[in-house]
Structure 1
Amino acid sequence: MSHGKTREEKNCLNCGHTVEERFCPHCGQENTEPRQPFYFLFTHFIEDFTHYDGQFWKTIKYLLFYPGKLTKEYLSGKRQLYVAPVKLYIFISFLTFFIPTLFPQSENPDEENAEKHSVQKEKENKKIQAAQISDSIKNQIIRESGADSTIVKSISKLDKIEEVLSKKEIIDTDRDQFAILGATNMKQYDSMSVKGGKNYNTLRPFAKKIFHLQDRGLKRKEIVGRFVDTFIHTFPKALFVYLPIFAFFLWLFHSKKKWWYFDHGIFTLHYFSFILLSSLIFILFGHLVKMIPDYKIFQTIFRLFYVVLFFYTSAYFFIAHHRVYESSKRKSILKGSILFIINCIGLLFMLMILSYISFIMMH
């Protein structure tokens, strides 16, 4: 597939060697005009993944439906037929975290409206209860406004009415704020921590961040939304850092003479590329389910698809591990199970660290 108009000159702009055909025989650069239309930036990017006899689609087919084969092909030296592992991982990672942002953020407007209606109704009920309390106090004032009652006493009763009403308003506003160990601001938290235990010291960074955001006027939903956004933007970087760690686990459980750390890195890149791609498929089908009519037959089909995809994703690692490392089934299952558990624990630990970092970085 052409990337642009071929130059009439026969000298390579990259290395200076003579170019008889379209590509330089010395460095491999395409001998095209250096200036191209603006849309060339996008078409060139797409063509890099789809030209050369369907290089990209062949890579995706092997990645999805032939566990471990793509890694074996790459390690055996067949590398021009497929997309490079790092390039493949970065591209799939980009799609996985970019495509979901194209869908509407509000998943169910009816539920949001119902929630707002419920909150509004609860506020109205509280106002009615406050009015009833006010009426009861007024009646009490009337009964006491005889010879033994004074105006000052009546005014104190009226002050109690306003106090009750103000407390009801405070309850309403507290629905939109976080309370940590009973404290709603940092001053209360510090005073309570004097008599408290280790829990106050442990939760102090979280309390300081939350109360700081609430002092700026942010409500509970806004704080949660900012945390989720920070977490999503940080997750791809954290996952990329985790890749060499998982490759190290593979290196520990296999022969150091037969398998190099590089080999485990290739297996890890392909495996996590599949995990990201299957996650994207889950997300896309989730949005697709919301768009189709709510018929039982469709719901049954999609639920069955989810179950099959879940079990296939879980079994993918064991199949790929057995094919790549060519060990016996028993050893492969044993090592695969241990590595699978270690990977789950490692990912969970990474998510805990990422959640903490995302919370602290939130602003």
Structure 2
Amino acid sequence: MPMAKKRRKFVQCPNCGYTFEEVNNYCPNCGQENHDLNVPVKHLVEEFFESTLHYDTKFWRTLRYLITRPGYLTEKFNLGQRASYVPPFRLYVFVSIFFFTAIALFASDGLVISDVDSAKAQLEATNPEAAGRVMQADSVVRPWVGLTLKDSADVIINQEVDNKFRSFVKNQEQSRQKLLKNISFMMFVLMPFFGLILYLFFRSQGRNYVEHLMFSVHFHTFVFLLIMFAILLEVVFSSLDANGWVFLISMVYLFFALRHVYKESYLRTAVKLIPIGLTYLVSLIILFVATVGVSVLFS
């Protein structure tokens, strides 16, 4: 249960002079809070730490359940039991800030290529036919664990490299920041779309779309935490490639979260996981290609 705020109430509103009743936490006349802040600093410091420690307790409890109990927070939200946990979107925003910061700081080594011609030459030497196609499947998972301009080049390069792409590659730092910013927006668009996918696959349960959206928010928040952990492992162990493990753990987590929230049998959940996962992956590919294209087009 949330901790009630201890108020030092006025008899009259200092802003408009309204005479308060005992139940008034805010002035009905002007809206100002009925709480006296003109007290010794000691009291303000005590209040600050009291509220901060309470929030910290709620945050760590929410984080623990998110990681160790797939689907638990979504179920609690859908049941209306929300006061003891950090709201889903607030949690997502908080985690995503650290997620994109971690990518910018620790997963940016591959964001540098020497020039467009060398990138094109490398692509054509590997597969001459690839120059006229978009990204190959084995490079699609890269945006989850570390973005590179070489990956972006695979999306944009054709037989002739236009001026916009040359400018995009030339301005390495500016292009990297633009791409990361657009990727963050892409993920924010992907969440409601994944909620729509779940809505379609579980429409027979008669759930509101918001319930599926909250599932999507919690799932993506977990994936961000997982990728951050993988990035840190790769920083410590430079020879480690955690891409495969990130994908595998994400799918296992998704399976148990679906099973917990939608209450279907293990077999039925497993059968649905395959088309849900494939639909999500195709959506991710399309959005990522579009995001890179937009980043280059408006560079």
Is the pair's TM-score, using the shorter chain for normalization, greater than 0.5?
yes
Residue 202 of structure 2: aligned partner: 254
Percent identity over the alignment? 23
Is contact 1:6–1:32 with CA below 8 Å preserved after alignment?
Answer: yes
> Which residue pairs with 1:322 in the alignment?
259
Change (3 A) 1:50 1:72: farther
Alignment of 1:31 onto 2:32: no
- Counterpart amino acid of 2:288? L
Aligned letter for 1:340?
G
Going from structure 1 to structure 2, the CA distance change for 1:49 and 1:343 (only over 3 Å counts) comes to farther
CA separation of 1:19 and 1:47: change in aligned 2, threshold 3 A? farther
CA drift at 1:8: 6.2
Q: 2:178 aligns with which of 201, 205, 230?
A: 230
Q: How many residue pairs align between the two structures?
A: 254
Q: CA deviation at 1:238?
A: 1.1
C-alpha spacing 1:254/1:32, structure 2 compared with 1 (3 Å): farther
| Match of residue 95 from structure 1 | 98
Q: Deviations over 1:244-271 (max 9, x none)?
A: 1111111111135531111101101100
**Equivalent in the alignment of 1:178:** 117
**One-letter identity of the residue aligned with 1:31:** H
Worse-matched range after superposition: 309-318 or 348-357: 309-318
Tell me whether 1:265 sits opposite 2:268 in the alignment.
no
What's the TM-score once normalised by structure 2's chain length?
0.67
Kindly indicate whether the alpha-carbon contact (under 8 Å) linking 1:69 and 1:324 is maintained by their aligned counterparts in 2: yes
| Cα pair distance change 1:50/1:17, threshold 3 Å | farther
Contact 1:69 1:320 (C-alpha < 8 Å) held by counterparts:
yes
Unaligned 5+ runs, structure 1: 113-174, 183-197, 291-298
Conserved in 2, the CA contact under 8 Å of 1:5 and 1:33?
Answer: no
Q: Give the 5 Å matches for 1:59-138.
A: 59-102=62-105
CA gap of 1:75–1:229, structure 2 versus 1, over 3 A, is: same
Gap change, CA 1:343 and 1:54, over 3 Å in 2: same
- Deviation string 1:190-224 (CA, Å, 9 cap, x unpaired) is xxxxxxxx99xx9599503145x3xxxx9x6x345
TM-score between both structures, scaled by the size of structure 1: 0.56
Alignment of 1:264-343 (within 5 A): 264-289=212-237, 311-343=248-280
Deviation at 1:52, TM superposition (A): 4.5
Distance 1:308 1:319 in 2: 17
Structure 2: segments with no counterpart, 5+ residues: 122-131, 134-156
Correspondent of 2:164 among 209, 220, 228:
209
Structure showing greater radius of gyration is: 1
Instruction: Give the C-alpha shift of residue 86 in structure 1.
Output: 0.9
Q: Report which stretch shifted further, 226-235 or 74-83.
A: 226-235
1:353 to 1:105, Cα distance in 2 relative to 1, 3 A: closer
2:9/2:34 contact within 8 Å kept:
no
Structure 1 Cα separation of the partners of residues 186 and 237 of structure 2? 30
Contact conserved, 1:275 with 1:313, CA < 8 A, in 2? yes
